[in-house]
Amino acid sequence: MSQPTISIVDYGVGNLNSVANMIRRAGADVRFVRMPAEVGNSERLVLPGVGAFDACRRSLDCIDGMEMAIRCAVAKGVPLLGICVGMQLLATSSEEGSLAGLDIVPGRVRRFDLQGVEAYRSLRVPHMGWCSVEPKGRSTLFAGELSELNRFYFVHSYYFECTHADDIAGVARHGIEFTAAVERGRVYGVQFHPEKSHRYGLALFRNFAALPVGYDNA
């Protein structure tokens, strides 16, 4: 039986090698895809992202046809996982910038605002460090061992505020409860870095690699 293959969208942004190494440790093959046609031929897609929202969006837009290729893959039921700013790009918009998001998972990316709240004076933004995620609903990403115990590594100043509560796959806390993961159809997003989250990140990538390809196989 052949190993599952996960394609990482290489648009010049993100910890590509770290993500690829963790995916390989999870038992999947890795492809780096840089052209829309390669995205269209992928079984599963990872959209990484590091830095500012607008900078990542501009980098994606620099590859002619890439956005449409991603949309077509999603329409065909190709599983897509956004990581960190890659997750935020799935939103409608972001307070961090002026450019539109992909609007694949309706919502707005918000900045943490803990000022003036006495109980949270010791907390800092960005939120950095390890944090447990509470799965919501019957999340595919947090199936198996992750439904009972998990800890992931976060580095972020912004969080995803979903328009529809049913799209929330997991929540965490940093002063306030915030969305740590989203899931809409075969589209997934995580605010944390699974590639830096040791055995929990491995388990999450294994769950993603095990997803069937295309809606016909659901």
Active site residues: 84, 193, 195
The 10 Å Cβ neighbour count of residue 143 is 15
Structure-block tokens of residue 142: 């947090």
The contacts found for 18-21 with CB under 8 angstroms, 24 or more apart, are: 18/195, 18/196, 19/46, 19/48, 19/83, 19/194, 19/195, 21/195
Give the residue among 142, 47, 153 at the shortest CA–CA distance from 101.
47
Distances (CA, A) of 146 to 3, 23, 130, 167, 209: 22, 17, 15, 18, 15
Distance between CA 127 and CA 129 in Å, rounded? 7
The 10 Å Cβ neighbour count of residue 164 is 11
Q: Which helix H or strand E contains 110, and what residues bound it?
A: strand 107-111
- Residue recorded with tokens 């460090």: 129
